[in-house]
Amino acid sequence: MFNVRKLNSTAVFFITIILIIFIGIGDLYSGYINYSLLNEADLINRLGVIRGSIQRLLKLELIGVENAELLSSIDASLQDLRFEQNNPALTELRLQWEQIKQTILQHRSSPSGNLQHSLLSASEQIWDTANSAVLSIQNLSEQRLTQSKLLFALTFSTLMLAAVILVWLRRYVQGQLEYLVRYDTLTSAITRSYYEKILPREMEHARRNNSPLSLIVLDVDKFKQINDTHGHIVGDYALQKLAAILINNLRRTDFLARIGGDEFVIIAPQTTKTEAKKLADRLQRIIADTDFPGLGPISISMGIAQFDFKESMNQLVDRADQALYQAKADGRNQTAVSF
């Protein structure tokens, strides 16, 4: 009940940052792949146009019809491909085109059967080279499509993981908020507001099951003097250590609540006032034997009241408070029981 672990958000923060970076990189790379696919599709279309234009130009040249505009258009189109330096077929295509232009100029100035044969051979050769360029680009596009599918799968998995983390983070935040509502940040005892919900519940449970329930109210003797003499830091540390001792020596079914500065309440289900007195005496001995840094030993006073099924919560608490006042009046560092 009392070993409540405060969650550490460092791991969540770093995992979230890593996921955001991964998703961002994935989006950038996905954009690059899409851009490359569009560029390669455009390149294949341009190669088809260039290939067809070269074939048409050569047919015209073979029948003696010159078309300077078409030649210039092919030349300009191939010049636009000069940035594609990583494709050997495109490089070869440009070289073959330069040879074809020289052959065309020679054929125009001095037509012959050999030059016509050269143009026919060049036509077949540049067609094959253009096909090779198209195939190489298509293979590259297929590889990018495969990468795109893998990237999609990874991105989808990452988004699913991110969704899981967001759900977990939401629960984590809710858990932290619940912890802050239920547990005192200084001592890890339950808060007064939560104690006021638990006590009526335990009273009703005891009433239904006809089982005993005891309430132990306690505070530190002369705690104001400790704060005034040694300072609030020493006083806060004393409360932390006191609460830790109490928590470690209570049952998991018991509740320790901090309801004021140095005032605590123990809700002890299934416990008679006689059993509660034994528990209180044991706790007082342990605390008396403990050295509190900067203070040495300290003492506590305790008041006990066993729940009478006919009384209200306020009546039960008042009886426990009256017992605590009696313990204080009798000299402190002791326990009084309400009868």
Active-site residue set: 262
Token pair recorded at residue 311: 């009384």
Are the C-beta atoms of 276 and 268 separated by less than 8 Å?
A: yes
